[in-house]
Amino acid sequence: MLKPLFMEPYFNEKDWGGTRLARIYGKHIPSDHTGESWEVSAHSMGLSCCEGKTLPQWIETYGSKLVGTEVTGEFPLLIKLIDAREWLSVQVHPDDAYAQRVEGDPYGKTEAWVVLDCEPGAQLIFGIDCDVETLRSEIAQGRLEQHLKKVDVKPGDVLYIPSGTVHAIGANMLIYEVQQSSDRTYRLYAWGRNAQLHIEKSLDVIVPERGGKPMQGVKLDVKGGTREIMVLDLCFALERITANGTMPLTTDGTRFFAYTAISGGTVAWEGGERAYQAGDSFLIPASLGKYTLSGGVLYKSYFPNVKATEEELTALGVDLKLVGGNR
């Protein structure tokens, strides 16, 4: 029987990266400019591994027993921890249709962020204050920066960032990110750094009304702790799990669950158990059945059956208007 897969990440070194992944989570980073830890990834640009096998190799061996019957194409999610020592470039991502038509990619890029660590007064960019044609003219005049919406954030804030949203991570910030399995980024602005820009493609895909403020989400008291529903999108769902006691959970064969722990605890299943530490990421196979989480705060991401999940949440009394996502 499959057991939870504890993943070994792929590290991405960046000029803007730092050392938070080592200092906060004890990760063995390759340098003091480590920007990204690809925690759960089947993307060819950076594969995560478990017990010497890449995630695609695990999927090839176990198929739907691992990923579930709802996943019929390529592995749909990419989960990262991002350490931004400096401001990242101002970016926007295409949707599925544009990515497939223009780039030949299987997926566009909708994502969500959780602020894990930042300094008081931290900000990031989340939207613009004008239409696309105005933005085109302002870029030509070197006035893009004045149209970027800066948002105050603090640890624990969650932001839902659908494709077409102008955004940028601020300086001195540690982020959990769940996204579609894509590395396609169009840069609008790079703060004077020497980075390739993609102005025309960016203008093609920007949806100017997207942006705003962090998600409120909905908190549910469940046996063993709390479950906060933050995002339910066609691309992924995101929950924050707080296991104050022992939380019973189960899989039904239709979907996997990916967890990243922010504090330590234990996952147990029929035939075994394993402790997790802050910064650990593990996959719960779709075929695992009953399992428990004991202790810790974790972020849980999965590829949703949206209709079934909406019905489940409605039955629990959740106001779906408070949950982010395109449904």
Q: What is the spatial distance between Cα 241 and Cα 276, in angstroms, rounded to a whole number?
A: 14
Please name the residues in contact with 94: beta carbons below 8 A apart, sequence gap of 6 or more: 102, 103, 108, 109, 163, 164, 184, 186, 201, 204, 205
Taking only the tens place, the pLDDT of each residue in 287-308 is: 999 999 999 999 999 999 899 8
Res 136: pLDDT: 95
Q: What average pLDDT does the structure give for the chain?
A: 96
3-state secondary structure of 174: strand
- 90 and 169 Cβ atoms separated by less than 8 Å: no
Taking only the tens place, the pLDDT of each residue in 133-155 is: 999 999 999 999 999 999 999 99
Q: Which of 20, 187, 210, 255 is catalytic?
A: 187
| Beta sheet of 186-189, edge-to-edge order | 148-152, 123-128, 167-168, 90-92, 186-189
Tell me the pLDDT band of 1, cut-offs 50, 70 and 90.
confident
Q: Which range, of 55-69, 86-100, 309-323, averages the lowest pLDDT? A: 309-323
Tell me the pLDDT band of 216, cut-offs 50, 70 and 90.
confident
Give the predicted TM-score (pTM) of the model: 0.96
Active site residue 187: yes
**Span 270-286, average pLDDT:** 97
Q: Domains in the chain, start-ordered, CATH in brackets?
A: 7-205 (2.60.120.10), 218-322 (2.60.120.10)
Residue 213 CA, distance from chain mean position: 17
